[in-house]
């Protein structure tokens, strides 16, 4: 799925790399015992370490280490048994230490891979460069008082994983698919809840363009802290078009940090100075190098759940689903469970279809997720069963489905109450067919003269006479027999 921009003189290829900050799911912060919960009153979750009081020392939270290793294994990445925490020095009002404890030369996780299933059935492999651990900073609040800024240190010291991709993405669509896949993997693992609106996942978006066919990377820009998948995609669209126009007009692209303005879907230059940082990294003397034993890593590996890719392969194998459909069902663990609850007793393709086309649009309309679905898996399974045993037609089933949502009643109750049972009784249908044929001698003559199209018209008449309840397959078969 190559994505290019047609310029005046040539075609341009888009090159995207992402740096994702993902908040580790953990009760406590990375180097202190303070709570990492979201939404507490400002400065209610701050230890002396988080406030960087003199003389206090960080103590590493081993659960956070486990979570980072688990994520690395989920990304099929190399886990480094030796890694080092370093100080990244810079001043920021909401960073009381004056430095961020991060990893630089020796991150905990090395190269890995994320697999994307694109809509056209193709598969794309996006490389992971590294995953390192670091602490989050606090938050400056500029809207609390007219002439002063306040600082909330609740976030200060929370454990983040910075996951850096290779510049392997070639369109905004691939970047969106990458973020959704990464989020899905971390949710399966329980290592990051992926709630972008709460800031627990945000992305720095690196974009450049180059003439199609070139293997050289041109100057990139970095759009910082984009907090939704849609915004990331919009930022890429905007940036790639802006850069293409610049090159085509004979201008250059400046390497700089940019901001995304979600109001106008544009990126804007921040001060160019921001890019010229020299952080003066050095190993944090308060923390020993981190050494992991291979048994520690193996134990985490052994405890990994079935991940989205494995589940997708199993769904394709066991239920004969197409890759893309299987990919949609496994993206959310709860959806996958819902599907399997139905597919164990019913036709898997029919079940997948009902979930993806009918149920999803209802959930979207109601703004709820599958766990909050007004129709349970067993309720939907019952409806699908009625289609499978020919009690109702597929078309009637849609009507029953809508009524289920509106009334909360079961499929079989609705079918009984509304008298929607399909007529599959041959003698009953036969009688109606005879009547319809007798009533329409002109059309009958046309069929007999070889006009096959008119058979379809007769099917329609029979369906009309039965208010759509006759089994269309039986009607078709009997009609053809009769006319012969």
- Residues at the interface with Mn ion (CB under 5 A): 162
Strands (E), 168-274: 201-211, 221-226, 257-261, 266-269
As given in the structure block, the two tokens for residue 383 are 């409806």
Q: How far is the CB of 293 from Mn ion (least distance, A)?
A: 27
Which residue number is nearest to Mn ion in terms of Cβ? Answer: 162
Q: How far is the CB of 19 from Mn ion (least distance, A)?
A: 7
- Residue placing its CB nearer to Mn ion in the complex, 132 or 312: 132
Nearest to 232 by CA among 272, 267, 182: 267
Nearest to 233 by CA among 209, 211, 210, 207: 207
- Residue placing its CB nearer to Mn ion in the complex, 162 or 347: 162
- Cα–Cα distances in Å, from 128 out to 18, 110, 168, 220, 444? 10, 8, 9, 18, 68
- Cα–Cα distances in Å, from 282 out to 89, 104, 136? 9, 9, 18
- Residue placing its CB nearer to Mn ion in the complex, 221 or 422: 221
Q: How far is the CB of 162 from Mn ion (least distance, A)?
A: 4
Q: How far is the CB of 92 from Mn ion (least distance, A)?
A: 13
- What is the Cα–Cα distance from 241 to 235, expressed in whole angstroms? 10
Q: How far is the CB of 142 from Mn ion (least distance, A)?
A: 22
As given in the structure block, the two tokens for residue 59 are 């103590």
Phi, psi at residue 12, to the nearest 5°? -120, 140
Q: How far is the CB of 160 from Mn ion (least distance, A)?
A: 7
- What is the Cα–Cα distance from 41 to 280, expressed in whole angstroms? 34
Number of C-beta neighbours around residue 121 at 10 A: 9
Q: How far is the CB of 84 from Mn ion (least distance, A)?
A: 16
Q: How far is the CB of 132 from Mn ion (least distance, A)?
A: 8
- Residue placing its CB nearer to Mn ion in the complex, 100 or 422: 100
**Residue 413 parent element (H or E):** helix 411-418
Residues 6+ apart with CB under 8 A from 355: 329, 335, 338, 339, 342, 380
- Residue placing its CB nearer to Mn ion in the complex, 162 or 341: 162
Nearest to 138 by CA among 157, 120, 119, 116: 157
- Residue placing its CB nearer to Mn ion in the complex, 50 or 222: 222
Q: What DSSP line would sit under 245-278, residue for residue? A: HHHHTT------EEEEETTTTEEEE--GGGGG--
- What is the Cα–Cα distance from 385 to 258, expressed in whole angstroms? 55
Number of C-beta neighbours around residue 7 at 10 A: 16
- Residue placing its CB nearer to Mn ion in the complex, 38 or 90: 90
Q: How far is the CB of 415 from Mn ion (least distance, A)?
A: 57
Q: How far is the CB of 109 from Mn ion (least distance, A)?
A: 14
- Residue placing its CB nearer to Mn ion in the complex, 107 or 194: 107
Helix 62-74 to helix 294-302 angle (10° resolution) is: 60
- Residue placing its CB nearer to Mn ion in the complex, 162 or 286: 162
Nearest to 101 by CA among 350, 282, 308, 293: 282
- Residue placing its CB nearer to Mn ion in the complex, 162 or 399: 162
- Residue placing its CB nearer to Mn ion in the complex, 166 or 469: 166
Class of residue 381 by CB neighbours under 10 A (exposed 0-12, middle 13-18, buried 19+): buried
Q: How far is the CB of 232 from Mn ion (least distance, A)?
A: 16
Class of residue 464 by CB neighbours under 10 A (exposed 0-12, middle 13-18, buried 19+): exposed
Q: How far is the CB of 130 from Mn ion (least distance, A)?
A: 11
- Residue placing its CB nearer to Mn ion in the complex, 162 or 261: 162
Report the residue count for the chain: 484
Chain-centroid distance, C-alpha 166: 19
């Amino acid at each position: 799925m190559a994505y290019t921009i047609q310029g005046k003189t040539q075609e341009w290829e888009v090159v995207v790399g992402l740096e994702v900050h993902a908040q580790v799911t953990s009760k406590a912060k990375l180097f202190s015992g303070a709570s990492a919960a979201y939404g507490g009153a400002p400065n209610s979750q701050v230890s002396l370490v988080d406030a960087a009081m003199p003389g206090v020392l960080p103590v590493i939270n081993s659960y956070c280490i486990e979570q980072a290793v688990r994520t690395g294994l989920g990304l099929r990445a190399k886990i480094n048994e030796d890694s080092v925490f370093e100080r990244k020095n810079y001043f920021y009002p909401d960073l009381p230490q004056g430095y961020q404890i991060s990893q630089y030369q020796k991150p905990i996780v090395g190269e890995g891979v994320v697999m994307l299933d694109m809509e056209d059935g193709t598969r794309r492999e996006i490389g992971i460069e590294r995953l390192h651990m670091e602490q989050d900073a606090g938050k400056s609040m500029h809207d609390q008082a007219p002439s002063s800024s306040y600082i909330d240190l609740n976030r200060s010291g929370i454990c983040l994983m910075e996951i850096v991709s290779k510049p392997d993405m070639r369109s905004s669509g691939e970047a969106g698919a990458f973020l959704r896949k990464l989020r899905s993997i971390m949710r399966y693992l329980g290592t990051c809840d992926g709630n972008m609106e709460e800031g627990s996942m945000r992305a720095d978006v690196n974009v450049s363009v180059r003439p199609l066919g070139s293997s050289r990377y041109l100057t990139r820009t970095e759009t910082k802290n984009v907090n939704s998948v849609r915004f990331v995609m919009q930022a890429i669209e905007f940036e790639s078009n802006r850069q293409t126009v610049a090159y085509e007009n004979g201008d250059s692209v400046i390497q700089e940090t940019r901001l995304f303005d979600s109001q106008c879907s544009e990126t804007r230059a921040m001060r160019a100075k921001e890019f010229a940082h020299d952080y003066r990294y050095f190993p944090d003397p308060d923390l020993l190098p981190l050494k992991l034993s291979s048994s520690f890593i193996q134990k985490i590996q052994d405890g990994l759940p079935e991940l989205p890719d494995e589940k997708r392969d199993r769904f394709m194998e066991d239920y004969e689903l197409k890759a893309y459909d299987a990919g949609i069902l496994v993206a959310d663990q709860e959806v996958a469970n819902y599907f399997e609850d139905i597919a164990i007793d019913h036709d898997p393709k029919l079940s997948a279809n009902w979930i993806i086309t009918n149920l999803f649009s209802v959930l979207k309309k109601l703004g709820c997720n599958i766990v909050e679905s007004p129709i349970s898996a067993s309720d939907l399974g019952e409806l699908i069963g009625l289609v499978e045993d020919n009690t109702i037609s597929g078309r009637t089933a849609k009507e029953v489905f809508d009524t289920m949502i509106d009334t909360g009643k079961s499929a079989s109750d609705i079918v009984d109450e509304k008298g929607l049972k399909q007529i599959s009784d041959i003698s009953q249908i036969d009688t109606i067919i005879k009547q319809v044929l007798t009533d329409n001698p002109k059309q009958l003559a046309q069929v007999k003269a070889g006009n096959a199209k008119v058979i379809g018209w007769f099917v329609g008449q029979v369906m009309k006479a039965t208010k759509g309840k006759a089994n269309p397959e039986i009607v078709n078969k009997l009609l053809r027999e009769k006319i012969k």
